Amino acid sequence: MAGLQLKRVAKRYGATTVIHGIDLEVKNGEFVVFVGPSGCGKSTLLRMIAGLESASDGDIVIDGNRVNNVSAAQRGLAMVFQSYALYPHMTVYQNLAFGLENLRTPRATIDAKVRGAAQMLRLDALLERRPTQLSGGQRQRVAIGRAIVRDPTIFLFDEPLSNLDAELRVQMRSEITALHARLGTTMIYVTHDQVEAMTMADR
């Protein structure tokens, strides 16, 4: 787990400035939510933290290290998107294991991590199913599980519940909050939903 500092972070596209010098400190283990309407720059800020977008100005510091020039793959973060981005031809087990296999992680380690995440997220009985056989909430849990198996220092969530119906959103809010309490890992969560922000965040 790690803390995060943003020091005068700005983003420009040509002559248009979309993020104007953000200063923020997120402590180890905190659950922080960026809330605002569509187009306000919250997802862009999250993508800069992830390394998917470059900052035009300022410093992004993770665990005391400036990471502006560090690739997304080397930052030790895991991101969960609004779209689940699951591989439809793979089982739940294979989806959870895929990223670790690409890193040439030993098979026994992969199996332990996949089964541990599946148990934590109540996916044990679904490991041989494919995404088309899952509900929206189950697919989102698989997406979160893919992040968990990587043991990230920080979890980044980009509107992960937007595609779910109201009842499932309430359920998944509780599950993500419980997951944070269990893991103690720093989480940064983007949403346009003020209720979601108020019920989930430390701040």
Burial class of residue 73 in the structure, from the number of CB atoms within 10 Å of its CB (0-12 exposed, 13-18 middle, 19+ buried) = exposed
Give the model confidence (pLDDT) of 111-120 as tens digits: 999 999 999 9
**Mean pLDDT in residue range 123-146:** 94
Structural contact between residues 32 and 8, judged by C-beta atoms closer than 8 angstroms: no
**Mean pLDDT in residue range 130-155:** 94
Cα four-point dihedral sign 75, 77, 78, 81: negative
pLDDT of residue 83 exceeding 80, the answer is no
Tokens of 24: 């923020």
Confidence grade of residue 165 (pLDDT, cut at 50, 70, 90): confident
Residue type, position 152, single letter? P
**Of all helices (H) and strands (E), which one includes residue 156?**
strand 154-158
Please provide the distance, in angstroms rounded to a whole number, between the alpha carbons at the two ends of the chain.
Answer: 18
**Mean pLDDT in residue range 72-86:** 89
Structural contact between residues 179 and 144, judged by C-beta atoms closer than 8 angstroms: yes
The residue among 1 and 144 whose pLDDT is bigger is 144
pLDDT at 116: 95
pLDDT at 164: 86
Burial 95-127 (b: 16+ CB within 10 A, else e): bbbbebeeeebeeeebeebbbebbebbebeebb
Q: Please state, rounded to an integer, the average pLDDT across all residues of the chain.
A: 94
Please state the domain extents for the chain: 87-151
**Mean pLDDT in residue range 80-86:** 83
pLDDT of residue 77 exceeding 70, the answer is yes
- pTM, two decimals, is 0.92
pLDDT of residue 84 exceeding 80, the answer is no
